[in-house]
Structure 1
Amino acid sequence: MDFSLSENQFLPNLRWLSWHNFPRRILKLSKFSLSNLVILDFTRSQLTHDWDGWRHIKRAKKLKVLNLSRCKRLSKTPDFSGLLTLERLILKDCFKLAEIDSSIGQLRHLVFLNLDHCFKLKNLPKELGTLPALTELLLDNTSIERLPDWWGMENMESRRVHISPSSKAGDSLNCVTSLLKLSLNWTDITHLPDSIGALTNLESLLLRNCYRMDRLPSSIKELRSLTELDLSYSKLIEVPNSMESLENLKAFKLYLSPTSAVLALPKLPESLTSLAIVSYVPIADTDLSNLINLKLLLFIMVPVISIQSELVQVPMPRWIGKLSKLEVLTLGHPNITNLSPEFGALPYLKTLQLSNCCALERISQIPLTVTKLHIIRCPLLTTLDISYLKNLSELYVFGSSIEDLSERALSEDLLEWKINKNYGDNLAETFRKMMCEPHGLDGLLPFFT
């Protein structure tokens, strides 16, 4: 590199500068021509908010992407006032970041903001509520405890939304109504503000592992554009009765902990194509027969009674046989004794996974379309006829007492099969992944350990 050049002379056509572990004290950024720079990536660099180089970066009047991931010395963001064209700001894994400069409110073109794993970040500046173009905000694994009450309000007076005394927002704050995705996984958030109902363009709301949040606001029913709602591993004690109004919802994940007060599921929208429910509490009179568009279903009832003789045995819910578009079924229910005849008529079922069905004694009919069959920990199941499953290519049977399956009885078309009456810890991870991945649960289900 010829650093004898005058300032702003080096690499005059530079559009993308990716320099990880940027040598903060060595390189003179003033030598670079930044007038055409569009993307700047300083991942894993030793930068601080008061670094002298920021004043040179403000010369990049065309800058759209700034990546400061893993800048571990960054405790506060720099002044953004000269970066008005910025569209994507990535601050992921800045472990010491605790403050976002108020100048972020000047980034009128900002579409994407990633603050994942900024562990020390507890508060969001009110200026975030003024960003008209923001569509994706990622806050996974931060220390955020609450969203500002002014979220979702173009004009708080006209919306008549209650503002808590602690709110410092002004009466004319614009909101992030353009937001399409809000991710708050693994945060300390305790509740969502009622004003979130005004985020009418929101398509994805992710609240996985929000252990301190026990309920959703009633205004959730206003999120008519919502297509994805993830409440897996969050300890809700109640589910809003207005869920059916989410008429565009496609994917819904729900986890009910032992402390949940939910006695029955509300009616869910028939727009759902993917549903995952894990419950540690008995759910009475569950009927999901209206979910005629469902393609993926995970329905797990975790046994709360350890003595098998105390289990109240029931047949398989008949409504499952009415889900005519179902392609993947993962079922775990300690009380089910058999699979209903209607189940055998499902025309598109490809994957059937039965786990911890402690009372299951027989399977009358498996759909002919099934290509993958996994039976895990069904101790009372002693017989299984798969001779008619001509499309079966994968068979796993573990922790079950099936006696009439032998290598000779298996189809020559089977590409992979394993049969073992024992189920050890070495297999737990394999089957967690196998059963959870189709449903986007990342293999974390405690039920499969």
Structure 2
Amino acid sequence: MSGNSNGELLSELSGNSYDELLSELSGNSYDELLSEARWLQWKVKGSDLSFSTTNLHLPKLSVLDFSYSHITKDWRGWKSLMASKRLKVLNLGWCLKLRRTPNLSAFTQLKILILLNCGGLEHLHPSIGELTSLVSLDLSGCGSLKELPEEVGNLKDLEELLLDRSGIRDIPLSIASLRKLEKLSTCICVSLREIPSSIGDLQNLQHLNLSYSGIKKLPSAIGRLKNLRTLSLESCFLSLNGAIPSEIGDLPSLEYLNLTWTPISDLPESIRNLSSLQHLDLRGCYNLWSLPELPSGLKYLSKPSIARTPSSEKRRRKWRRLDQSWDRRTCISAFVWIAKLKLGRVWQS
């Protein structure tokens, strides 16, 4: 083993527990190996949880992968790891016994923090607000996490905030300070009831996914998101009520709008102002009776099927007229196949 490079040696030992690693290395070779390590993958389980880490020295470590470990906030190894000042990526995904995150303030250069599917995670330590270099925060699948600390608003460089399938009930008002945020996803956050109006301050936001969430309405402040390119409200059919705000027409960069399986009954006239809109998905919008004038640049329109009931005949005629008007305009070639569909064919009687 003495003939191998440090990188090769780390690769050979990557499947071993910490105490097994120490038994294969002695004094100087151990210190030399770990002092040069840039990437460490360690599934901390069993005897690793109680093993002494007093001499663990990783000054050059950039990536630390603890995914699928049994560590907790009180694990003794955290103290030694705080000396890893150059850490850029910390992966704590699937650490099911982690209830609270430890104090992470020492990792001032951290760029990516992954807490994916930490099902038992209930609290984020306020020190998360000191990770001012953080670019991506993934809290997807943290079903026990009910709230974000206000300190999240201190993450001035954050570009991506993933909350999918988490237990989040509210988005803190401090989110307005995340001026570099490009992506916010709350897909399947069924406990989330509203989006704060402060979201309108996210001038760099490009992708907003609220699909399958519990939100009841969109704030009018959504119209201030001038760089928003995609907006999805898919399957908010159990909670969303009221009309889509007219301010949605103030989104000059919006290219994709997904309203699939929402209970909306109409769209605002201002939707014709969406000069960049290319894709509009209305499948399953059975309460939608008609459409206003649509943007001329639209390339894809998926309209709802209509159930075969006597009361639907008036609505059926309106959609036929819509089909005819689109055929005459012929500006959307992708719509031809839709016009040929027989309305309600999926509703076989």
Same fold per TM (> 0.5)?
A: yes
What secondary structure is seen at the aligned counterpart in 1 of 2:26?
Answer: coil
- TM-score w.r.t. the length of structure 2 is 0.81
Please tell me whether residue 117 in structure 1 is matched to residue 141 in structure 2.
yes
Residue 4 of structure 1: aligned partner: 26
Residue 199 of structure 2: aligned partner: 196
Distance change in 2, residues 1:14/1:319 (3 Å)? farther
Count residues with an aligned counterpart.
315
Residue 396 of structure 1: aligned partner: none
Distance change in 2, residues 1:97/1:13 (3 Å)? same
Residue 324 of structure 1: aligned partner: 331
Which blocks of at least 5 consecutive residues in structure 2 are unaligned?
1-20
Could you tell me which of 105, 109, 112 is aligned with 2:129? 105
Measured on the aligned residues, the alpha-carbon RMSD in Å equals: 2.7
Once structures 1 and 2 are overlaid, which stretch shifts more, 122-131 or 234-243? 234-243
Please tell me whether residue 263 in structure 1 is matched to residue 287 in structure 2.
no
Residue 228 of structure 1: aligned partner: 230
Distance change in 2, residues 1:107/1:286 (3 Å)? same
The superposition leaves residues 227-263 of structure 1 with CA deviations (integer Å, 9 ceiling, x where unpaired) of 11011111332101121210001111013545x4x33
Work out which structure has the larger RCO, using CA pairs closer than 8 Å and 6 or more positions apart in sequence.
2
Q: Distance in 1 between matches of 2:198 and 2:311?
A: 47
Q: Distance in 1 between matches of 2:80 and 2:53?
A: 7
What secondary structure is seen at the aligned counterpart in 2 of 1:50?
Answer: coil
Q: Distance in 2 between matches of 1:304 and 1:123?
A: 44
Residue 305 of structure 1: aligned partner: 309
Contact 2:306 2:343 survives alignment (8 Å): no
Q: Which amino acid aligns with 1:186?
A: I
Which blocks of at least 5 consecutive residues in structure 1 are unaligned?
153-174, 332-337, 340-353, 359-375, 380-398, 400-449
Matches within 5 A, 1:76-87: 76-87=100-111
- TM-score w.r.t. the length of structure 1 is 0.64
Q: Which amino acid aligns with 1:227?
A: R
Distance change in 2, residues 1:267/1:310 (3 Å)? closer
Residue 41 of structure 2: aligned partner: 18
Residue 145 of structure 1: aligned partner: 169
Q: Which amino acid aligns with 1:249?
A: L
Q: Distance in 2 between matches of 1:249 and 1:44?
A: 39
The structure whose residues are more often helix, as a share, is: 2
Q: Distance in 2 between matches of 1:234 and 1:301?
A: 18
Aligned identity (percent) is 30
Q: How far apart are residue 319 of structure 1 and its match?
A: 4.2
Q: Which amino acid aligns with 2:303?
A: F
Q: Distance in 2 between matches of 1:266 and 1:79?
A: 50
Q: Distance in 2 between matches of 1:312 and 1:21?
A: 61
Q: Which amino acid aligns with 2:76?
A: D
Q: How far apart are residue 4 of structure 1 and its match?
A: 3.1
Contact 2:42 2:66 survives alignment (8 Å): yes
Residue 286 of structure 2: aligned partner: 280
Distance change in 2, residues 1:22/1:109 (3 Å)? farther
Q: Distance in 2 between matches of 1:17 and 1:306?
A: 66
Q: Distance in 1 between matches of 2:181 and 2:137?
A: 11
Once structures 1 and 2 are overlaid, which stretch shifts more, 124-133 or 140-149? 140-149
The superposition leaves residues 282-323 of structure 1 with CA deviations (integer Å, 9 ceiling, x where unpaired) of 3224432x231x333322244273788787443452343336
Distance change in 2, residues 1:100/1:306 (3 Å)? farther
Q: Which amino acid aligns with 2:324?
A: R
Q: Which amino acid aligns with 2:123?
A: E
Residue 91 of structure 2: aligned partner: 67
The superposition leaves residues 300-351 of structure 1 with CA deviations (integer Å, 9 ceiling, x where unpaired) of 24427378878744345234333635447774xxxxxx74xxxxxxxxxxxx
Please tell me whether residue 218 in structure 1 is matched to residue 220 in structure 2.
yes
Q: Distance in 2 between matches of 1:84 and 1:227?
A: 31
What secondary structure is seen at the aligned counterpart in 2 of 1:239?
Answer: coil
